[in-house]
Amino acid sequence: MMKALNCTIAFLLVMVLGVQAQNKITLHTDEADTKINREIYGHFAEHLGRCIYDGLYVGEGSEIPNIRGFRKDIVDALKDMKVPVLRWPGGCFGDTYHWKDGIGDKSKRPSIVNVHWGGVTEDNSFGTHEFLDFCQVIGAEPYINLNVGSGTVQEAAEWVEYITSNNQSPMTDLRKQNGREEPWDVKYFGIGNENWGCGGNMTPEYYANLFRRFSTYCYGAQYRIAGGANVDDYHWTDVLMRETKNVPHLINGLSLHYYTMPGGWPPSRSATDFGKQDWHDTMYEVLRMDELITKHSNIMDTYDPNKRVGLIVDEWGTWFKSMEGTNPGFLHQQNTLRDALVAGVGLNILNNHSERVKMANIAQMVNVLQAVILTKGDQMLLTPTYHVFKMYSVHQDAQLVPMHLASEKYEMNGRTLDALNASASVKDGVLSMTLCNLNPDKDIEVEYEVTGDEYTMASGQLLTSKNITDYNDFDKSTEVVTKPFKVSKPKNGKVKFTVPSKSVLLVQLQGEQKL
């Protein structure tokens, strides 16, 4: 009787308290047959605030060291982070942008008023040639958004021709007159942006027909991306997939936009002054990305069971209230440890959906929203999000490793989340596992069990900090950075370690032959 009672008590303790053994991840390396496209680690640079001007581009006459006008410190940092693809010129700005204003002699280019973002006047000194040159300098694939909202089919078609054509034609001649003899190899073209909102306030039925028309005349576009849904507008996805099903040559990708915005629209919460409830709310919101991708993918599967059309999450990241003392239209915010967790969780989710998700672009690259780099005059700093992207670059073009994750819960005020979030990949014999501990107060011991391959060595990198609100600033640029993390050698296909609270962790396993 006493033995049975002790067993019952032990069982109840397991159920109520949760034990270390429940935090277990089983990996199946023998089932790794889906590639994680490197483009999932893409970025977004819109003509917004200080992203382009005073961010990426300072001009050749600047005293700040530059390469043909591009800040050298930023170029070096982006190359080190391995940016695979860069989206430009918008965003909302893209559907007011007329590309011919941004080519030719810079002194003769007409200016443009940025009606969406702060009402500032830009001189168009950063245009098509500058963007494509910048992509070449940092080693990224260009992704260009065409103007559907206020542009014409002819304008879009001529832009594609100007960029990609090697035939004798007026646009090819114009490109050569502007100093570029050979065409650029640009693969990705977006046909409009947020056409349900700032891109024209269209219905999905109207936009679907407009997309078919624009896409028909963009002959040189290899990969055409249709403007997709906002958050959970599943009707938009259904209409676009239905109306393009019989013209598969016109569509290769469908976009999705989702921002982690605790408290909803308009953004009202501070990027730096927050407590544990805000932290929990933010983790809840970023985890919602998994549900959204799953449901949009299920609709796409109905019309495209072979997953030929990629889901392109070309705007994602945190969106908080703009920093005090800055132009609200510039969307400038700091980047804390909380943003690093959002980046880690978001990338894990995107990795795990790589069968359908073929590209993603965090918003935005410099000085705007969840930026990877911030600048102040001639100073530059790398944000916690930058360090997560650099850490996670091991997943680019690797094979996704299927996993089963059993996690304890993280609860606050009646809302419960999994405390752990993870993804894994294998490449060149190295198994890379990225793991986030969402709980800001508790270290969690986790056990990994690997089936299919044998590994004998382990190493790790960790990103965390003392406080949830910690961030890098120009006088403390190494407050939140990655550091080495010691992991014991695997035994019998298993490895155990403790994941510190509020952290992002990379653990890599490999065999003796890799040393």
Q: What are the residue numbers of the active site? A: 194, 315
Helix (H, G, I), strand (E, B) or coil at 379: strand
Q: Which long-range contacts (CB under 8 A, 24 or more apart) does 57-65 make?
A: 57/125, 57/126, 57/130, 57/134, 59/125, 63/378, 64/377, 64/378
Helix (H, G, I), strand (E, B) or coil at 313: strand
CA distances from residue 341 to 190, 248, 386, 438, 463 in whole angstroms, order as listed: 29, 38, 12, 7, 9
Radius of gyration of the chain (CA): 24
Query: For residue 174, what are the contacts with CB-CB under 8 A and spacing of at least 6?
Result: 103, 162
Residue reference for tokens 């103007």: 147
Cis check for the bond before 266: say yes or no (omega within 30 of 0): yes
CA distance 138 to 67: 11
Write phi, then psi, for 9 (nearest 5 degrees). -65, -45
Contact 373, 365 (CB under 8 A): yes
Residue 458 corresponds to which tokens in the numbers above? 């382990």
The H or E element containing residue 503 is strand 503-510
Contact 122, 53 (CB under 8 A): yes
